[in-house]
Amino acid sequence: MGSKSVAFCRSTIAVVIMSNSSQFTLSGWGYILNALANGDIGLELDTQSLSFGFVLRASWVPLVMLVASLIIAFVTMVRLLCCSPKLQNKRGKSVAPSLVWALLSFGVVIVGLIIFMATAQRGFAQTNDVLNDLSADVGNASSVASSLNMSLVHLQTNIHKLQETCPDLPASARQSLNSEVQSVLAELEAAAGGLSTYTNQLEAIEGEMDDLTSGRAQEIQSLSSGILSLPLIFVTLTCAFMTTILLGTSCLGHGSNCAKCQDIFFFKIGSIGLSLTILVVAVISTGQLASGIAISSFCGDIDGNMMIVLNTSIGEGSDFYAQHGSHVYNATTYYITGKGQNPFEDELKNASTTLAEANDTLSQLKDLLNTEAVHQSCGDAFSDPVNAINSDIANAFDQTQVSVILLSRNETIYPLYQEAMHKAVCGEVINGLGWLSLFQFVVGVLCLPCLSCTVASFVHRRAYERTPPVLEGVQVNLV
């Protein structure tokens, strides 16, 4: 995704934030992870930030997890290489311990995936739905803005027609008519200029939103879900492989050459790969935990941090600001802090005021056109233009009111913000990352080593222990 698209995604999320929102309080994993965060680590989070240094700066907890995983991986490798069970003890005689660890591993995986689907995945889906709703609102606002501009153009055209109507109009009435018409046209021209800028801004945002919701957001959601759940699925396949070896070896006879090959290749040589698997899962889990800590830190002061992001991504000096001007930045700043002015609402208020003033002026003009002298000279020649003007003004008023609703904080923007930021990003997504990193750590760094060691003990014993024959009621182990 390009830098402009990233900047626009940030500004799109930011545009739905309100200054008069209720105080947002983190809960669940968000509260826990925010307590573990080091300073303002959330401001460092972006697509290029997931480095080892970022993990270390996020919190001490990921570092502890990483060190513990390194120790467990090393101990597991040494255990598989050097600590095969003695034939005199009972270790590895039964498949029961291995089956218990296998069932525990699969149970943790199933619970982890269910919780992930019910939290982070649902959060991604909610965010995608909000983007679709926001795209629809922006599209509607853009369409209404275009219709409003057309209504103003049509209104100006019909007002011009008043000057061309009835050549027999008395000179004094003609002079008054032309004076009033020029005054109204000047007011409408000023309003049309402001609305033209407003319309262009909305059309630019609509184009970006269409591009985002036409597949990019769904692609990002699917890619994120796949990347997040991939380590857990990989560990599950590894556990399934170990379980398959266990069940297959249990069907072999004592001293089987096949069991000896499995012992050498899968557990002696394979111990290195298994240790690397544990480390990879641990690194990914700590990265996910660090990301969750960073997001929770960002959500701890969502409004203030979003302002910092906005100043960088769409504020003065940014490419977005140079390309689209100050309207979007000023509007989003207004929604977040409540300070300054919303240029979109200002243009609509100006248009409404201008229409009201034009309507008052046209009312005086209608009184002039309804005089007996005008009727004697022109009859009903002005009826059609006047009716068309009344219709245009009514339509323009309705369109400004619809636009105001579409840009309303309480009715449109704030509910979308709550759904996307409070419930999805700062709620479900953080909870999903927290649970996912925990379950991946448990199954990949705890359950998988235990399962591997118990299966290795069973396979080694089955490979090198011969079936004890019975001689005169006494069993003798043949080694």
What are 197-250's pLDDT values in tens digits?
Answer: 677 777 666 666 665 555 555 555 555 666 677 788 888 888 888 889 888 888
Judge whether 474 lies within some domain.
no
Predicted confidence (pLDDT) at residue 97 exceeds the cutoff of 80: yes
Q: How confident is the model at residue 477 (pLDDT cuts 50, 70, 90)?
A: very low
Q: What is the pLDDT of residue 103?
A: 92
What is the DSSP track for 276-303?
Answer: HHHHHHHHHHHHHHHHHHHHHHHHHTHH
Structural domain of 433: 3-465
d(CA 1, CA 212): 11
CA 63, 60, 281, 421: dihedral to nearest 10 degrees?
-150
Q: Say how far apart CA 152 and CA 209 lie, in whole Å.
A: 27
Predicted local distance difference test score (pLDDT) of residue 74: 92
- 6-51, pLDDT tens digit by residue? 444 444 444 444 334 445 677 788 888 888 877 666 666 554 455 5
Residue 452 lies in a domain: yes
pLDDT at 292 over 90: no
- Asked if residue 342 is part of any domain, the answer here is yes
Domain-embedded: residue 31: yes
Query: DSSP letters along 401-421, please?
Result: HHHHHHT-IIIIIHHHHIIII
Nearest by Cα to 444 from 32, 121, 104, 30: 104
CA 48 to chain centre: 17
Task: Supply the pLDDT for residue 64.
Answer: 87
Q: Is the pLDDT of residue 95 over 60?
A: yes
pLDDT band at 4 (very low <50, low <70, confident <90, very high): very low
User: For residue range 322-349, what is the model confidence (pLDDT) as tens digits?
Assistant: 887 777 788 777 777 767 777 777 777 7
In a domain, 476, yes or no: no
Q: Is residue 256, in this structure, part of any structural domain at all?
A: yes
Mean pLDDT for 157-167 is: 80
If phi over 0 gives left and psi between -120 and 50 gives alpha, with beta otherwise, what is residue 474? beta
Q: What angle do CA 21, 27, 33 make, to 5 degrees?
A: 115
The predicted-structure confidence for 164-181, as pLDDT tens digits, reads as follows 787 877 777 778 778 878
- From CA 288, how far away is CA 33, in angstroms rounded? 12
CB of 5 closer than 8 Å to CB of 220: no
Question: Dihedral of the CA atoms 348, 352, 358, 363 (nearest 10)?
Answer: 160
Q: Among the listed ranges 90-94, 145-149, 431-435, which one has the minimum average pLDDT value?
A: 90-94
Number of domains in the chain: 1
* Residue 477 domain-assigned (yes or no): no
- Span 386-414, mean pLDDT? 78
- Which residue is listed with tokens 């007996």? 372
> Is 79 inside any structural domain?
yes
